[in-house]
Chain A
Amino acid sequence: MKEKILLKAQLPKLIEELRKIYRVLAPVKDNGFYVYKAISSADEVDLDFANTKIPPKEIFFPRSEVLFTYKRTDNGIELIEPENSVEKQVILGIRGCDAQSFLLLDKFFAYGKFDDPYFAQRRKNTLLIGLACNDPRSTCFCTSVGGSPFSEAGMDIILTDLGDKYLVKSLNVKGNELLERIPWIEDANERDIFDAMQLTKKALAAIKEELPIEKLNNTFAEVFDEDAFWLQFSQKCIGCGSCSFLCPTCHCFDVVDEESSTGGKRIRLWDTCQFPLFTLHGSGHNPRPTGRQRLRQRVMHKFNYYPKILSEIGCVGCGRCILACSVNQDIRVVFKAVQES
């Protein structure tokens, strides 16, 4: 399908059209930062953002989610499926790094014998309208992990901000179908397409970080046992879960049962390998008793185990962990140290 042009003045009109068919999630400024929220009016949307603080993983993988409830009855236990009927939804303004994170999460939630139905259902019903990154932050390193500020991977439509308008490009059949429903949207001209290309080049040039992550795969394995190496980073870590909770690809969870005399529910919650409790065994033994082992786990999981098992780097280079860390633990410094070791 030919590229289209959406004037910024037409954005509210587009959003209202979308809202007729979909639940629309978009970046909203809240308490000083941006989050993806289901919106009830186009006024709430603010596409003039770098990226959201909370990664959009929570749209598919909520912080806490009831998997099922159960009741004690005279005939035994009755299981009740949650009412997780997911309406059709669209995420507007997803960045390339985050769209890539969904592709990684897809692999995880469908890994092995079972395809996680809760996650899969939401993913299936969601259309992604991306927004290319004209202005990557200094903490962005997507190009070092196989991404790009203009990455289209995982999206159905991508918008490129051309100042007073967006270049709208459909990337697949789902995107085409959506754009066909919007008859008033006009075709782009050659100049618009040229301008978008120029912006791509500029954005790529703006990313200064070139971290040799793919080449480091084996080096990570070599430093695995070097306690002193990991200690230089873990010594400043306070062991909170900010980096994992705000990471778009961290997906580890805890499952708890909340029970009363009449029944209960099983809940899935975000968890993190940075907490000692994460690996504590029932016996009292903890295979990762120290901070350096926990920090190593997070790094190795993304940059060594993921490449080994799924042939992908488990990081999309969004830099959220760098921004979130209160003690300024910077994953880029870890890469450089691995490189130098």
Chain B
Amino acid sequence: MENLETSMRDIVKNLLNEQKVDLVIGYQKGTMPLRTTPCFVTKAEDSNKLVWNFCCDLNLIKYLLKDENKGKKVGLIVKGCDARALAVCISESQIEREKVIIIGMPCLGMLDRKKIEAEVAPKEILEARVTQDQIITKGKDFEHTLLKKDYIQPSCQACHYNNPPICNILVGNQPLELESAVDWDAKLAEFEAKPPEERWAYFTELLSGCIKCYACRNACPLCYCKECFVDQTQPQWVGKTTDIADVMFYHIVRALHVAGRCVGCGACTRACPMNIDLRLLSKKLEKIVKERYNFEAGLKTDEPPPMGTHTANDPQEFITEPE
């Protein structure tokens, strides 16, 4: 990883020196262990601030969509999932392909910080070191060694795109071999086999902690609407309270809005301050879209998502023949 970090910094330095980009967005060391924070580099000499490690979990595509970066030529550090989210944004005309230099990082999965922290809570991790296969955490009166493979984020465990499907420069020039992934089909099948009341109860319980801070929406690279439906007041589509009906309505509509577009990067789950994980819902939608339209989001920049297009050949038997 250090080699990748050095190569990445060199690439960024050159891009800025040669004025091929105005800005590079990547990661820098965070203020706490196991964290990184977005890094905005405009001067070649600041390239050394950039880091690449197992905590570079943020999806930085969101920053390309911000007003202050509109029109700029931006170099962006991306993982496979980020590149896919970017591809969706490009296919939906939200980002101009030629305005971005995609600096792709081969990725073996990022660490699940919340899971690691929960392991030692209420004690606090003051120092953490990640080796080839271990995570060594230290606190005031403890030292824990954890096996890295047990603390990879769930979204990464299910990922098939360790190399960015689209990019201008692949750092390290060495595509990674794919690792075996979690079998989401089996998980979904198990859930689907449950009676509707049980499935409803699962989501009700899961969402009962939602405080409606909208961090999931704001972290999602594909939630880029200028005005979100929850913020519309004329008409007001959704109740604003944290009653379960209002919470559920928000999450279901958001799920439908990202159906066939969600790339499963996990930004929503990571951003949630209440540790709510809605991946079962997003994975189910992903599966439906794959089955119905043979479509997987974020692999091409010139193919609009199925829900954004209509053709006469669209499968539609499910409209009149519910399961």
Seen from chain A, the residues whose Cβ lies within 8 Å of a Cβ on chain B are 30-34, 48-50, 53-54, 63-64, 135, 137-139, 231, 235-236, 238-242, 244-246, 254, 256, 258, 267, 269-270, 272, 275-277, 290-291, 322, 324, 326-330, 332-333
Contact = CB atoms under 8 A, between A and B. Distances in A.
Interface of B: 30-32, 35-38, 40, 58, 62-63, 66-68, 114, 118, 121-122, 124, 126, 140, 209, 211-215, 217-219, 231, 236, 239-243, 270-271, 273-275
Given A235-B63, A326-B58, A333-B31, 9 more contacts: A33-B121, A54-B211, A64-B242, A236-B37, A240-B214, A245-B211, A245-B213, A330-B31, A330-B37
A262 B32 CA distance: 54
A231 to B, nearest CB: 7
B124 A328 contact: no
B215 A63 contact: no
Given A50-B122, A328-B36, A330-B31, A238 B242 contact: no
Contact of B219 (A135, A138, A269, A326): A326
A138 B124 contact: yes
B122 A34 contact: yes
Contacts of A239: 218
Contacts of A63: 211-212, 241-242
A242 B215 contact: yes
Given A267-B241, A328-B36, A328-B37, A245 B273 contact: yes
A324 B273 contact: yes
A269 B241 contact: yes
User: 9 tightest CB-CB pairs across the interface, nearest first?
Assistant: A240-B215, A328-B37, A241-B213, A64-B241, A326-B271, A240-B218, A328-B30, A236-B38, A330-B31
A238 B62 contact: yes
Contacts of A269: 240-242
27 contacts: A30-B209, A32-B114, A34-B122, A48-B122, A53-B273, A138-B32, A235-B66, A235-B68, A238-B215, A240-B219, A241-B212, A242-B215, A244-B213, A245-B273, A246-B211, A246-B213, A258-B239, A267-B240, A269-B241, A269-B242, A272-B213, A290-B67, A327-B58, A328-B36, A329-B37, A330-B31, A332-B31
Nearest to A34: B122
Nearest to B35: A328
Contacts of B213: 240-242, 244-246, 272
A242 to B, nearest CB: 4
Grouping DSSP codes into helix (H, G, I), strand (E, B) and loop, the B interface class, with mixed when no group exceeds half, is: loop
Nearest to B214: A240
Nearest to A234: B68
Contacts of B242: 63-64, 269
A135 B153 CA distance: 30
A37 to B, nearest CB: 12
Contacts, number: 115
Given A63-B211, A326-B270, A328-B30, A238 B219 contact: yes
Contact of A256 (B31, B240, B270): B240
Contacts of B215: 238, 240-242, 326
Given A63-B242, A242-B215, A53 B31 contact: no
User: Which among B122, B217, B239, B275 has the highest number of chain A CB atoms within 10 Å?
Assistant: B122
A40 B122 CA distance: 23
Q: Which of A258, A277, A328, A330 has the most chain B CB atoms inside 10 A of its CB?
A: A328
A27 to B, nearest CB: 10
Contacts of A275: 214, 231
Residue of B32, B114, B126 contacting most chain A CB atoms (<10 Å): B32
B30 A32 contact: no
B122 A64 contact: no
Given A50-B124, A245-B211, A267-B241, A327 B37 contact: yes
Contacts of B114: 32
B58 A139 contact: no
Given A32-B114, A240-B219, A49 B58 contact: no
Contacts of B58: 326-327
A30 B206 CA distance: 12
A238 B271 CA distance: 10
A135 B241 contact: no
Contacts of A291: 66
Contacts of A246: 211, 213, 273
B205 to A, nearest CB: 10
B211 A137 contact: no
Contact of A31 (B62, B140, B274): B274
A333 B37 CA distance: 12
